[in-house]
């Protein structure tokens, strides 16, 4: 009589299983982040288009103002809902300063996409010098890339876990 020992199948490695694992571990905060971000996104797009199309502001000025206002709304939502358990003793003004810094970098990412679109508009104006192309560049590609950056920046540096935030630097 022989006994066989069954070994579990090897764990999958690679980018997709790691992403799925991260998404499962952080599902709650991802959903809250998406809700707050979705609200801020609607505000950002609405103000951008109101200023750009309705009041004939430049695309850059409209994007800067709409982002600043949407950032303030998103900060309140993320501080009081997404990462409410991470507030700890951190002062709101310190968190807002970091939040605003990382949103500034996110704005630069969105403006970089708008800049690339405007460069392409000099070559193919029929495709890239349109309100739709500017919206896609600033509000789809730019905001999309910036959102990935901001999620990790917020959870790592702005809304740190209280135990990590209060640990002495070594």
Average pLDDT, the chain: 85
Closest CA to 9 of 24, 17, 22, 1: 17
Contacts of 44 (CB under 8 A, 6+ apart): 66, 67, 69, 70, 139, 143
State the pTM of this model. 0.71
| CA–CA distance, 63 with 58 (Å, rounded to integer) | 9
CB 99 within 8 A of CB 71: yes
Q: Quick one: pLDDT band at residue 108, thresholds 50, 70, 90? A: very high
Portion of the chain with pLDDT greater than 70, in percent: 85
For the chain, helix (H) and strand (E) counts, in that order, are 8, 0
- Give the domain ranges of the chain: 27-165
Q: Are 47 and 9 in contact (CB under 8 A)?
A: no
Residues 51-78 pLDDT 10s: 999 999 999 999 999 989 998 999 899 8
């Amino acid at each position: 009589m022989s006994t066989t020992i069954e070994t579990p199948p090897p764990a999958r490695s690679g980018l997709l299983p790691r992403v799925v694992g991260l998404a499962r571990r952080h599902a709650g905060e991802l959903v809250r982040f998406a809700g707050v971000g979705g609200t801020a996104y609607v505000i950002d797009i609405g103000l951008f288009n109101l200023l750009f199309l309705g009041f004939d502001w430049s695309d850059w000025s409209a994007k800067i103002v709409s982002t600043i206002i949407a950032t303030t709304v998103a900060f309140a939502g993320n501080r009081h809902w997404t990462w409410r358990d991470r507030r700890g003793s951190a002062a709101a003004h310190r968190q807002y300063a970091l939040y605003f810094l990382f949103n500034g970098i996110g704005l630069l990412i969105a403006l970089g996409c708008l800049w690339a679109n405007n460069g392409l508009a000099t070559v193919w104006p029929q495709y890239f010098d349109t309100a739709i192309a500017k919206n896609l560049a600033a509000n789809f590609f730019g905001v999309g890339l910036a959102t990935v950056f901001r999620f990790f920046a917020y959870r790592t540096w702005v809304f740190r876990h209280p135990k990590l935030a209060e640990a002495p630097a070594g």
